[in-house]
């Protein structure tokens, strides 16, 4: 079976003044359709870079990223925008709902850019809101809702375009633990319904909710395997040895 997301020796360099920072250092992995994967790492591990590349917000400096078999590195900005619209659903830590629009209008935005007609847009956005249990709040503005409700609305927005990948960047980061658990349960429901979910987090306790964990450190993959293996949550010896040496 062809991988939905395929990283082949992906590197990303940032130039800061005279020095060059390597944010991703020959990262390779594959994610298949229907998987629930957590990309874990501490700050500076390269997980944000990974998420930007997976989300087609950025392109690799070196290596190849294939999304659904298409080489993203070769695409121009407009094509990238199209790919984001068609294949990706974003869930952000800060919800990122548009404050001047009500929930229904917020959920409609991706469909608007996809060129879906108004009536169809309404219907699908409403459906999506029903799925996250906010159908009776469609008229509310984001600031009239709690954090958990806002995050659910942003999940509804991520779902509405029926994307191939749902990309969640620290989705529980701004929530208390109870509502955080609710949101995670919702993500698990989506996975159970056959969606591919990629979760980016620094928090092991959240990462273990996924099926599979890809652990990054200093821009490299240090673990890639099932989340229930003991190595998944402990810092690998090699990295510890390296960290120790650095000290």
Partner 1 sequence: MSILESLELALKNIVSSKTRTLLTMLGIIIGVAAVIIIVGLGNGLEGYVTDSFSDLGTDTLTVSVMSRGATRTIDVEDMYGIVEENSQYLDLCSPTAGMMASVKIGSDTTSTSVSGVSEDYLAIKNYTISKGRNLQYSDILQRSRVCVVGAYVDQAYYGGSAVGQTLRVGGTSLTIVGVIEQQSESLEEGGADDCLFLPYSTASRLSGQISSFVVTVRSEDTLNESKTALENALYSFFESDDFYTVTSMAQMLETMTSMINILVCVLAGIAAISLVVGGIGIMNIMLVSVTERTREIGIRKSLGAKERYIMQLFVIEAAATSALGGVIGILLGYILSSAASVVITRAMETTLTVAPTLGAVLLAFGISVGIGVLFGYLPAKKAAKLNPIDALRYD
Task: State how far the Cα of 93 lies from the Cα of 115, in Å rounded to an integer.
Answer: 27
Identified binder of partner 1 from the candidate list 6, 35, 58, 170, rule CB under 8 A: 58
Parallel/antiparallel/unpaired status of strands 5-16 and 19-31:
antiparallel
Q: Are 186 and 132 in contact (CB under 8 A)?
A: yes
Q: Which stretch binds partner 1 (CB under 8 A): 4-12, 55-63, 180-188, 232-240?
A: 55-63
Taking CB under 8 A as the rule, does residue 15 contact partner 1?
Answer: no
Taking CB under 8 A as the rule, does residue 78 contact partner 1?
Answer: yes
Phi, psi torsion values for 205, nearest 5 degrees: -65, -25
Q: How far is the CB of 245 from partner 1 (least distance, A)?
A: 33
Identified binder of partner 1 from the candidate list 21, 114, 234, 241, rule CB under 8 A: 114
In this complex, which beta carbon is closest to partner 1, that of residue 98 or of residue 185?
98
Task: State how far the Cα of 231 lies from the Cα of 147, in Å rounded to an integer.
Answer: 33
SS3 111: helix
Q: How far is the CB of 141 from partner 1 (least distance, A)?
A: 11
Give start and end residues of each alpha helix (H) in 45-102. Answer: 47-54, 77-87
Give the footprint of partner 1 on residues 140-199 (CB under 8 A). 157, 161
Identified binder of partner 1 from the candidate list 59, 68, 113, 164, rule CB under 8 A: 113
Q: How far is the CB of 110 from partner 1 (least distance, A)?
A: 5
| Distances in whole angstroms, Cα of residue 123 to Cα of each of 43, 65, 70, 107, 197 | 40, 34, 31, 11, 24
Task: State how far the Cα of 11 lies from the Cα of 61, in Å rounded to an integer.
Answer: 6
99 HSE (CA, 13 A, CB side): 2
In this complex, which beta carbon is closest to partner 1, that of residue 115 or of residue 194?
115
Binding mask 83-112 for partner 1 (x = CB under 8 A): -xxx---x-x---xxx-x--------xx-x
Q: How many residues bind partner 1 (CB under 8 A)?
A: 25
User: Residues in the site for partner 1, rule: CB under 8 A?
Assistant: 52, 55, 57-58, 77-78, 81-82, 84-86, 90, 92, 96-98, 100, 109-110, 112-115, 157, 161
């Amino acid at each position: 079976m062809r991988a939905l997301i395929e990283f082949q020796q992906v590197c990303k360099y940032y130039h800061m003044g005279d020095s060059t920072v390597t944010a991703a250092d020959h990262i390779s992995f594959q994610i298949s359709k229907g998987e629930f994967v957590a990309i874990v790492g501490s700050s500076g591990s390269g997980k944000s870079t990974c998420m930007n590349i997976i989300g087609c917000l950025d392109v690799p400096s070196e290596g190849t990223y294939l999304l659904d078999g298409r080489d993203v590195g070769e695409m121009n900005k407009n094509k990238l925008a199209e790919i984001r619209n068609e294949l990706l659903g974003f869930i952000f830590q800060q919800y990122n709902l548009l404050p001047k629009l009500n929930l229904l209008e917020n959920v409609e935005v991706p469909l608007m850019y996809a060129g879906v007609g108004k009536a169809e847009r309404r219907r699908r956005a409403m459906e999506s809101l029903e799925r996250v249990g906010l159908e009776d709040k469609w008229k509310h503005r984001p600031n009239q809702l709690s954090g958990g409700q806002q995050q659910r609305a942003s999940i509804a927005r991520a779902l509405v375009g029926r994307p191939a990948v749902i990309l969640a960047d620290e989705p529980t980061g701004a929530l208390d633990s109870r509502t955080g658990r609710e949101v995670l349960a919702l993500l698990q429901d989506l996975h159970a319904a056959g969606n591919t979910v990629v979760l980016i987090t620094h928090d092991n306790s959240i990462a273990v909710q996924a099926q599979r964990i890809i652990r990054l450190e200093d821009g490299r993959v240090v673990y890639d395997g099932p989340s229930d293996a003991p190595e998944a949550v402990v810092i690998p010896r090699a990295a510890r040895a390296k960290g120790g040496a650095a000290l």
